Amino acid sequence: MKATSMTCFNTPWERGVSLSLILGCVSLWSAPTGAADSYVPDSPDTVLLTLPATLGGPDQDSRYANQREVSELTDGRGNIQAAIARAKGYLDTAKSLQDARWYGFAQTALLPWWEDSGTPRDFALLKADILQHQHRFAESRDVLNAVIKQHPRDPQAVLNRAHMHLKLADFTRAEKDCQRLLLLDSPAVAAHCLASVKGLTGQGADALALLENTLAQAAQLPEDLVFELHLSAALIAHREQDMALAERHYQRAMALSPQQVYLLTHYSDLLLERRKPEIVLSVIEADTPHRVLQIKRAQALVQLDPVAAQRVIDQMGRRFDAEAFFNDVRMHQASAMYRLFLRSDAQGALPAALAHWADEQSPDSARLLIEAAAAAGQIRPAEAAIAYIRQSGVYDYRIERALSRLPRWEQSA
């Protein structure tokens, strides 16, 4: 049995909102507190907000069909093995389409047995995966602990638990699980796991050497693992400010999975830093549904054509104002980025960056919060993120640059 590599995807949104509640809040959207004027569309065909399928959006027909399929499984509890197979398919779709709603479909398929103890190993792994993408990392780890107690030599469960330890900044336990993988799985999977820990604990050079050595055997490795190895190497080299090495690994990862959102986000960061906006516009589709990637495209436009970029930014702002009502956990990062990088509104970005940090503690969320705090001239909101960076030992030249701009940082360090 082989473990598959660790990946990072957005959190699903499965909160229900009644139509009466939506209609009752239209006035709040059209005239937010402090706004100078209400927005009046130029045309009756103007799209103000694309609703998620849960609220009657464009995918509702497929969703209803999906619900009918799920009901066939769940009426009278149905067949748990059939539900597991269906849920696996939904999670594969979620990862293929980068559409987090399919995590909700998977959970619905498993729902009749969700609280049961003694469910099959495959059920528990799926449940842990879904909990992870709901940012319920401690609960996900608890599920994996139970699997490993029953199946102590299960490499996938051990790898997934190492990932959860990293999400919870428990680096000692993460490294122990990675070492455990050396006895359970291929050396390449274990090496990637160990490199991930080293890359987050101030050992970037060692992590890169381990990844480069592993990639020397790329011809004998599964393509999805090769992609993960290149992406990890790119991220670590980027944090270490080795731009040429980072760009090379980003490009090799792009050759394997050119639409992966996490890859596109970080590759675009590097391209923008290196003043290559044309490439950003070429690798991110103009109609991308992902807010973070929309922001990256807008940042590229700012470098190329500030006037055209301003029109795009204004349109994005109206969508953000409307979507902010839902308080979707996926919007915290994008909202903070929009306000900080496109509106230069550090005070407005700071609450969203804090909310994103509360959702997930990681180098990315720490950097966004510290950058927002530095731009706002406030050190206190960033104290938890600063402590995380210092305790973990992770190095990122962009974080160090932001720290140097924080008021009284030298006296507080």
96's tokens: 């293929």
The pLDDT of residue 130: 95
Task: Judge whether residue 108 has pLDDT over 60.
Answer: yes
Residue 144 counted as domain residue: no
Q: Which stretch of DSSP H or E encloses residue 141?
A: helix 137-150
* Coil, helix or strand at residue 149: helix
Are 250 and 262 members of one domain? Answer: no
Are 210 and 250 members of one domain? Answer: yes
Are 241 and 272 members of one domain? Answer: no
Least confident of 98-102, 122-126, 194-198, 248-252: 98-102
Our measurement of the distance from residue 47's CA atom to the centroid of its chain's CA atoms, rounded to an integer in Å, reads 27
Residue 80 counted as domain residue: yes
The pLDDT of residue 253: 98
Task: Judge whether residue 36 has pLDDT over 80.
Answer: no
Segment 127-154, tens digit of pLDDT = 999 999 888 889 999 999 999 999 999 9
The pLDDT of residue 325: 53
Are 402 and 391 members of one domain? Answer: yes
The answer to whether the beta carbons of residues 83 and 91 sit under 8 Å apart is no
Residue 237 counted as domain residue: yes
The pLDDT of residue 167: 86
pLDDT classification of 5: cutoffs 50, 70, 90 = low
Task: Judge whether residue 34 has pLDDT over 50.
Answer: no
Segment 228-261, tens digit of pLDDT = 999 999 999 999 999 999 999 999 999 999 999 9
Are 233 and 285 members of one domain? Answer: no
Are 249 and 263 members of one domain? Answer: no
The pLDDT of residue 54: 40
Q: State which of 90, 116, 134 marks the end of a domain.
A: 134
Are 252 and 267 members of one domain? Answer: no
Sign of the CA dihedral running 229, 231, 234, 237: negative
How many independent structural domains does the chain possess? 4
Are 267 and 243 members of one domain? Answer: no
What is the pTM assigned to this prediction? Answer: 0.78
Burial class (CB in 10 A: 0-12, 13-18, 19+), 413: exposed
Residue 52 counted as domain residue: no
Q: State which of 230, 256, 282 marks the end of a domain.
A: 256
Are 247 and 276 members of one domain? Answer: no
* Coil, helix or strand at residue 44: coil
Query: Pick the residue with more confidence: 134 or 80?
Result: 80
- Residue 142: CB atoms within 10 A of its CB come to 14
pLDDT classification of 3: cutoffs 50, 70, 90 = low
Segment 157-197, tens digit of pLDDT = 999 999 999 988 899 999 999 999 999 988 999 999 999 99
Are 237 and 271 members of one domain? Answer: no
Task: Judge whether residue 11 has pLDDT over 50.
Answer: no
The pLDDT of residue 180: 96
The answer to whether the beta carbons of residues 328 and 360 sit under 8 Å apart is no
Segment 309-330, tens digit of pLDDT = 999 999 888 877 776 655 555 6
Range of the domain at 295: 258-326
Instruction: Write down the residue that tokens 């790329």 correspond to.
Output: 218
The answer to whether the beta carbons of residues 293 and 261 sit under 8 Å apart is yes
Distance CA 203, CA 335 (A): 32
Residue 128 counted as domain residue: yes
- If you average pLDDT over residues 208-220, what whole number do you get? 96
- If you average pLDDT over residues 80-90, what whole number do you get? 95
Residue 159 counted as domain residue: no
Are 252 and 271 members of one domain? Answer: no
Residue 28 counted as domain residue: no
pLDDT classification of 50: cutoffs 50, 70, 90 = low
- Domain of 211, CATH number, reads 1.25.40
The answer to whether the beta carbons of residues 290 and 301 sit under 8 Å apart is no
Residues in the chain: 413
* Residue-wise DSSP of 15-69: ----HHHHHHTHHHHHS-TT-SS----SSTT-------GGGT-TTHHHHHHHHHH
- Of the candidates 353, 342, 251, 254, the one whose C-alpha atom is nearest the C-alpha of residue 300 is 342
Residue 35 counted as domain residue: no
Q: State which of 119, 134, 149 marks the end of a domain.
A: 134
